[in-house]
Amino acid sequence: MRNRIAIFWPGDYRARPNETALPHIEAATVQLEKALDRLGRPHYRVDGYITKPNEAIAKLGPIEDPMVGVYVHWVYGPHTTDGTVGKDNPLLLASNFSGTWPGLVGLLNTSACLESVGRRHSRVWTDAADWSADEIFMDRLSEWCTTGRIAYSENEISYQTPISRKASGIAGRVARRIRQKRVLALMLGDTSMGMINGYFGPRLLNKVGFAEHKVDQAWLIDRGRRVSQQRIDDAYRFVRDKGVIFHYGEQGAEDFDEAATKEQLRDYLTVLDLVEEFGADCVGWQYQLGLIGLRPPSDFAEGLLNSACRPESNGEPIIDSTEGDQGNVVPMELMKRLLKEKGLHPAVMFHDVRWGGAVNGRFVWVLLNSGSCGAYAFNHTPDSLEGVHSYRQPAQYFPVPGGTFTGESMPGEITWARAYIKGDALWMDVGCGEVLKLPTAKRDEFWNGTTREWPLMTADLGVSRDTLMAHYLSNHIAVAYGDIFGEMVALSQELGFKVRMFGA
């Protein structure tokens, strides 16, 4: 490539996160520029953050030069995709590998969004303080500058694996039930915060045994008014009796109190009523950004939905995918059914692939989402909420006070999965791994280095960091305790997904 390289800043829609991340993105950009200077590649900056789709179209659309986006915090997929789709100039997504702000989360989501619309691009990342001193990073950057792409090894990815007769039988029984009665996902709103890759729609869902019914989030406000105070009070008493610890009035959370939690329980009960009314099997809940200024955070309610132990329970979780992400609600529901068929507890956790580091020779991922991980992860007891803590959601993201549903996940064998769009078809990634119990100091380093208010799962996902960073097509991941790897592969293939296996 002989052209000058354009460097741009995709951003959050909200001003405050962009302002907070400004020193980090400035520092990362200086490092990128230094690395390009070392390679003798001229470059220039596109002015300012891109915070809306129209800005992406206006700022990036006219550029024919190669482009590099810098990802150091959460950004919306359209803030890259909408300005680059329909073009074929080389595009690179570059991230600092840091837990301070989830830049790699923004990179993974944006890459999945680009893949879903068929826009070619490459990824690169480094955790080095001096990017130009990281020779692996520099080799990859040089490859992109020379060829317009970066090729990564697929040695840890396979497309076929032997499936036992028992696993095939379990998957076959679940698939037959889905064909007899397809899965209905109640979608509360649309996908959240520019997650283009998180929406499949009926055209693709119907092919794999799912249907969706959309309900505008305004229904939550309207129907919530009809929820009786008695039900709310009973639900609050239930969660306290079952072990939830509420961190009311702590420093920085002076406005977080019992009333805030009860409003979250109002929304939880409203969703239960809607699930019953429409006979839904599972839920996708947008919440952000549509309700963020009107209702408390959805996280406490979503954590309860993903728990068997919850007010007015039917004895098992109702799978809930936060941010209206169909790429997680689909594998979560399939995994729940496989767990039940195999006689295991049917809880499935929703997480972000947030950050990570080496611990005793293993790469350990920090899986951390704002609150829709169910209670079973924290106690491995189906009829308990012990281990659940509720902290005020950080005010810079959530102006209306309300709590998280958080805790430290227990160690154990896991299966993980993710559905996504590639080449106008639905794919499923499946892997297995282990949640690890870390020494307290290391656990706290990871937890405090990200967002301490959110649920923590420290896991070896069974593949190297670079394989996941190079090939995984989401920032979200569905995680279940227990070995259902073969069953999940067989069920996904039976329903019509194309399947990749990580670490198989």
Give the Cα separation of 280 and 213 in Å (integer). Answer: 8
Residue 99 pLDDT level (bands cut at 50, 70, 90): confident
Average pLDDT over residues 379-389: 98
Q: Which phi and psi angles does 182 have, rounded to 5°? A: -65, 155
Give the Cα separation of 487 and 489 in Å (integer). Answer: 6
Per-residue DSSP letters for 200-247? Answer: -HHHHHGGGTEEEEEE-THHHHHHHTTS-HHHHHHHHHHHHHTT-EE-
Give the Cα separation of 95 and 87 in Å (integer). Answer: 22
**Which residue ranges does the chain devote to CATH 3.40.50.10940?**
5-147
Q: Are 324 and 274 in contact (CB under 8 A)?
A: no
**Which residue ranges does the chain devote to CATH 3.20.14.10?**
165-502
Amino acid at 379: N
Q: Are 78 and 112 in contact (CB under 8 A)?
A: no
Q: Are 109 and 81 in contact (CB under 8 A)?
A: no
Average pLDDT over residues 417-442: 97
Give the Cα separation of 381 and 376 in Å (integer). Answer: 6
Q: Is the pLDDT of residue 138 over 90?
A: yes
Q: Are 9 and 29 in contact (CB under 8 A)?
A: yes
pLDDT, tens digit, 9 for 90 and up, residues 289-298: 889 999 999 9
Q: Are 235 and 363 in contact (CB under 8 A)?
A: no
Give the Cα separation of 496 and 286 in Å (integer). Answer: 27
CATH pick for 165-502 out of 2.30.30.60, 3.40.50.720, 2.60.40.1170, 3.20.14.10: 3.20.14.10
3-state helix, strand, coil in the chain (%, to 5): 40, 25, 40
Average pLDDT over residues 128-135: 96
Instruction: For the chain, give the percent of residues with pLDDT over 90.
Output: 93
Give the Cα separation of 2 and 148 in Å (integer). Answer: 11
Burial class (CB in 10 A: 0-12, 13-18, 19+), 385: buried
Query: Which of left, alpha, beta for 249 (phi over 0: left; psi -120 to 50: alpha)?
Result: left
Q: What is the rounded average pLDDT for all residues in the chain?
A: 96
**What was the pLDDT predicted at 504?**
61
**What was the pLDDT predicted at 151?**
97
Q: Is the pLDDT of residue 2 over 80?
A: no
Give the Cα separation of 345 and 182 in Å (integer). Answer: 22
Question: Sign of the C-alpha dihedral, residues 301, 455, 286, 317?
Answer: negative
Paired tokens of 129: 């303080």
Q: Is the pLDDT of residue 83 over 80?
A: yes
DSSP one-letter code for 403: B
Q: Is the pLDDT of residue 284 over 70?
A: yes
Instruction: For the chain, give the percent of residues with pLDDT over 70.
Output: 100
Question: Sign of the C-alpha dihedral, residues 214, 220, 226, 228?
Answer: positive
Q: Are 321 and 187 in contact (CB under 8 A)?
A: no
Residue 101 pLDDT level (bands cut at 50, 70, 90): confident
**What was the pLDDT predicted at 3?**
86
Q: Which CA distances in Å does 318 have to 184, 211, 321?
A: 12, 16, 10
pLDDT, tens digit, 9 for 90 and up, residues 29-62: 999 999 999 999 999 999 999 999 999 999 999 9
**What was the pLDDT predicted at 264?**
98
Paired tokens of 106: 């923004």
For residue 18, give every residue at least 6 positions away whose Cβ sits within 8 Å of its Cβ, in sequence order, or none: 11, 12, 49, 51, 73
Note the residue count of the chain: 504
Q: Which phi and psi angles does 471 have, rounded to 5°? A: -125, -20
Identify the architecture of domain 5-147 in CATH.
Answer: 3-Layer(aba) Sandwich (3.40)
Give the Cα separation of 93 and 104 in Å (integer). Answer: 10
Residue 263 pLDDT level (bands cut at 50, 70, 90): very high
Which residue's structure tokens are 């109190």?
A: 257
Q: Is the pLDDT of residue 450 over 80?
A: yes
Give the Cα separation of 385 and 119 in Å (integer). Answer: 44
Amino acid at 438: L
Q: Is the pLDDT of residue 371 over 80?
A: no
Average pLDDT over residues 73-96: 96
Give the Cα separation of 121 and 126 in Å (integer). Answer: 18
Q: Does the pTM exceed 0.85? A: yes
